[in-house]
Amino acid sequence: MEAAISLSGVTKTFGKFTAVSSLELTVPKGLTFGLLGPNGAGKTTTIRMIMNITKPDSGSIRVLGQEMNEELQQRIGYLPEERGLYRKMKVVDQLLFLAEIKGVDRDTAMRRLGPWLDSMDLRPWINKKTEELSKGMQQKVQFLGTIVHDPEILILDEPFSGLDPINVILIKDFLSEFKKQGKTIVFSTHVMEYAEKLCDRIALLYRSKKLLDGTVREIKNLYRDRVPLPPPVEPEPELEKIFIKAVEESGLTAPSPEELR
């Protein structure tokens, strides 16, 4: 099991407050890893230390066997918790700008992003200013910004926050596709359902400490006798799928930018 990311004895304090405490963490290559925990658990601090935005007080962090450096940054796609795009910039320029920073030329960027612009219904919006887009749309643009350089590792801080159910599905599909391509994905969330569906491995943080770490299967087995099982349920269609079906059957197409204004 080769590690894409490994943290050893990592501690981070802010004054007297310990945000991350003696953390040991290994993210194997090619897997999807969920960093779980309630607000304030230390997820963002951990991610920011991996990205070398914040320095740990002690401990060591390795990404693809190295300390974080510029060359390594180019091999990672990072979605920060605070989303920032240039409000006045056109979507297409925004994406090309993000591509340029990563050393990707225009043609390559558009070729790479093309299928996503279509599947995410962003194509009609690419010549609009970012500020004209809904929050969900902006978040999808930001997602595309994280993959424009075809990174080996995706590190996403709360990628699902603020998304409506349709966009959650789009992002889930997007992550599944990445996973299929053998990329390593790390994402944080406080929504257990997303983790359960998407992750090979998870770690649960709580008040700066890691309480659980393992595959979803391992962790479930560990708690099987101590946590009540849900009552058996008749299989029934999920509301999410019903919604998609209803939209399909309506024969209506996605609203155009003009209509949404």
Ligand X SMILES: Nc1ncnc2c1ncn2[C@@H]1O[C@H](COP(=O)(O)OP(=O)(O)O)[C@@H](O)[C@H]1O
Q: Are strands 58-63 and 32-36 parallel, antiparallel or unpaired?
A: unpaired
Cα separation of 223 and 200, whole Å? 17
Smallest distance from the beta carbon of 17 to ligand X, in angstroms?
A: 6
Q: How far apart are the first and last CA of the chain?
A: 50
Backbone angles phi, psi at 191, to 5 degrees: -95, 105
Give 42 or 77: the residue with its C-beta nearer to ligand X.
Answer: 42
Cα separation of 110 and 113, whole Å? 5
Give 45 or 142: the residue with its C-beta nearer to ligand X.
Answer: 45
Query: Which residues of the shown chain bind ligand X in the complex (CB under 6 A)?
Result: 14, 17, 19, 37, 39-45
Give 43 or 183: the residue with its C-beta nearer to ligand X.
Answer: 43
Smallest distance from the beta carbon of 41 to ligand X, in angstroms?
A: 4
Q: Which amino acid is at 158?
A: E
Which of 4, 6, 7, 44 is the binder for Mg ion (CB under 5 A)?
A: 44
Q: Which amino acid is at 245?
A: K
User: Which of the listed partners (ligand X, Mg ion, none) does 5 bind, with a CB threshold of 5 to 8 Å by partner kind?
Assistant: none
Closest CA to 211 of 10, 56, 6, 37: 37
Give 42 or 145: the residue with its C-beta nearer to Mg ion.
Answer: 42
**Dihedral over alpha carbons 77, 196, 134, 239 (to 10 degrees):** 150
User: Which of the listed partners (Mg ion, ligand X, none) does 19 bind, with a CB threshold of 5 to 8 Å by partner kind?
Assistant: ligand X
Give 34 or 42: the residue with its C-beta nearer to ligand X.
Answer: 42
Smallest distance from the beta carbon of 43 to ligand X, in angstroms?
A: 3
Q: Tell me which residues in 66-85 interact with Mg ion (CB under 5 A).
A: 81
Q: Residues interacting with Mg ion, by CB under 5 A?
A: 43-44, 81
